[in-house]
Chains A and B, each alone.
Chain A
Amino acid sequence: GAVVSQHPSWVICKSGTSVKIECRSLDFQATTMFWYRQFPKQSLMLMATSNEGSKATYEQGVEKDKFLINHASLTLSTLTVTSAHPEDSSFYICGRDRGYGYTFGSGTRLTVV
């Protein structure tokens, strides 16, 4: 079964609203999780690294005030897309590294209308 659970799998929201995406590590405590974004017909790009108990680190060009990441527990990381706009429509996917393999959540398809 899935060891990284991600919800929701898809969401449609109005422009200007915020959306929260949850990523749960089900089989072990993850101090670090990673958030990726995939635009249609493109590759996956790392957005940020979620660190349990401390601030997330963002990749260059990713707005930290727009993509809020919270990693309050060892099993849950959340990504909140604030004031979403149509250009934020994308596939968002979390992942974690166990040292001997990488596991992704099922992904969230966000559509902003």
Chain B
Amino acid sequence: GENVEQHPSTLSVQEGDSAVIKCTYSDSASNYFPWYKQELGKRPQLIIDIRSNVGEKKDQRIAVTLNKTAKHFSLHITETQPEDSAVYFCAATPGPGGTSYGKLTFGQGTILTVHP
């Protein structure tokens, strides 16, 4: 099955700096890669996602890049703010047609702390 590795486990930055979180995956059938932000005690919230037919996607301060050949994807947050502090998870899932369709495999999570 799919295996998703996420690094770093913790990341501390100063307000205004950029933050980068990286993930690698193992299953070449995976074609949907969402990123979630989870605050304490709450459900994961989708912040950005990317499908395998594109290499980069941007939404204001957040961007995701995907390298299907190398099987890795990254989250980039620019101009970080204290309210960006949370746990971030990457995930991967294959497309329709396979037995694992719809099953999300998560990375281990990254605790991001943005210092004012």
**Binding between chains A and B:** yes
User: Number of B residues contacting the other chain (C-beta, 8 Å)?
Assistant: 19
- Complex contact B44–A104 (CB within 8 A): yes
Near B by CB (< 8 A), chain A positions 94-108 give 95-97, 99, 101-102, 104-107
- Complex contact B43–A101 (CB within 8 A): no
When A and B form their complex, what is the total count of cross-chain residue pairs whose Cβ atoms lie within 8 Å? 45
- Complex contact A104–B103 (CB within 8 A): no
Instruction: Write out the residue numbers on chain B whose beta carbons fall within 8 Å of the beta carbon of A96.
Output: 102
- Complex contact A93–B96 (CB within 8 A): no
The distance in angstroms between the C-alpha atoms of A32 and B102, with both chains bound, is: 9
* With known contacts A46-B103, A49-B102, A102-B34, A97–B43 Cβ distance under 8 A: no
Q: How far is the CB of A30 from chain B (nearest CB, A)?
A: 10
Instruction: Write out the residue numbers on chain B whose beta carbons fall within 8 Å of the beta carbon of A104.
Output: 43-44
The distance in angstroms between the C-alpha atoms of A109 and B102, with both chains bound, is: 23
Instruction: Write out the residue numbers on chain A whose beta carbons fall within 8 Å of the beta carbon of B106.
Output: 43-45
- Complex contact A43–B43 (CB within 8 A): no
Q: How far is the CB of B35 from chain A (nearest CB, A)?
A: 11
